[in-house]
A and B are shown apart, each in its own frame.
Chain A
């Protein structure tokens, strides 16, 4: 982030703000239990749950704030919130 006068910025600057550093609890995805329904991907407020090349879902820990909505909304028990050691 640059100290521009008046905190002015070009589009796309929110990518510079790595909100992953806010996280206390980390969503851990269990591939065995995941049915690939995609609800977590739809409901993530940061849009940082994405589909992997193998067809599974995974969070982007660079931006995941650890809000836990994915774990709460998962119809199964595929996502567990685990305290993160930093």
Chain B
């Protein structure tokens, strides 16, 4: 049923349909509305879950570890500094192979303090072993939660997942959303039944000590599980499409890309603005297209290469910067197209909530056509 809903509230409703048994979270802008809404569902007996109030994000995700290891479907949500405080716990969750799903309402990291959007927070945890989904709009933000649980809990994957959606730009925006029902999700998402769990009658420990003779192999196994999760994502996304009409089988999605000479690569809400800019440029006769990356971890290297091999140049938009190197998405795309001869240029855009408009996308296309890139776009002149 179509509803006009705020992004955070739509995500909270989607999470409710996933029937999490334990939720532990700490409020932080711009994620707060999600956990507020979930706390209300629990208080009103609309959701049969244990809602654990904690003193900070480190405790939030630590509580989730215990709950997930005990066999519960577990949920949390955070952003920015909150996610930074979870850094250590994130690696532990992945290493213990606990399929916790966490929403990230993407926000810049301090200092300087900023409550506004970019994607530095989740991108900074790219090496932690969590799957990372990025939503273009709130419809996708809700749907990706169902997919995330399905994939994360698959016995061959058993890895946690971030569902990332841009703070404020999506989290606080009202959009029409086709909300599924509890019955729909019960058909799509089976009950979580782990093969091993914490049990006082049959004790077991998670994430035990590994000597140098074994640690190496544990990281290898996580990497292998992440790479093999690509097939699981495809399967779950396809099945979701067959059931509800929105197909998420592909980890990347082209827009007017088939005959494009210039391709823009991006992830998150900026893809919507980019599509509008592309429509206007197409009207002017410019052959521009978009490749949207929906899944950043595991990175769909082969899919990116396949989708871009016919273009003449690629502009990658990064709402993050690996300081001293390049944007994280740019580095991945350059790797995917290595030896293809196709020039790939990166553009750091929209950090700390700086608006990115259609005219900026057009300006970036003009820059990549001139071969100028691997730069911060739109800097104030006083720093130059």
In the complex, A5→B195 CA distance in Å? 11
The answer on a CB contact under 8 Å between A8 and B217 is: no
Which of A11-19, A23-31, A46-54 touches B? A11-19
Interface size class of B (residues with CB under 8 A): 20 to 34
Contact of B158 with A by CB under 8 A: yes
A22 to chain B, nearest CB (A): 10
Which chain B residues lie closer than 8 Å to A13 at the CB level?
205, 208
Q: A19 — nearest CB in chain B belongs to which residue?
A: B211
The listed residue (A1, A6, A9) touching B98 by CB distance below 8 A is A6
Given A1-B214, A3-B214, A17-B209, verify A9-B221 contact (CB < 8 Å). no
B257 to chain A, nearest CB (A): 39
Contact of B196 with A by CB under 8 A: yes
Q: B94 — nearest CB in chain A belongs to which residue?
A: A6
Contact of B96 with A by CB under 8 A: yes
* B 86-103 to A, binary, CB cutoff 8 A, 1 in contact else 0: 000000000111100000
The listed residue (A1, A3, A9, A17) touching B204 by CB distance below 8 A is A9
Contact of B45 with A by CB under 8 A: no
The listed residue (A1, A6, A17) touching B96 by CB distance below 8 A is A6
Which chain B residues lie closer than 8 Å to A7 at the CB level?
95-96, 206-210, 218
Contact of B112 with A by CB under 8 A: no
In the complex, A11→B106 CA distance in Å? 40
Interface residues of B in 206-258 (CB under 8 A from A): 206-211, 213-214, 217-218, 221
Could you pull out 13 A-B pairs where Cβ atoms are within 8 angstroms?
A3-B218, A3-B221, A5-B97, A5-B158, A6-B98, A6-B206, A7-B96, A7-B218, A8-B196, A9-B204, A9-B205, A13-B205, A17-B211
B residues contacting A by CB (< 8 A) are 95-98, 158, 196, 203-211, 213-214, 217-218, 221
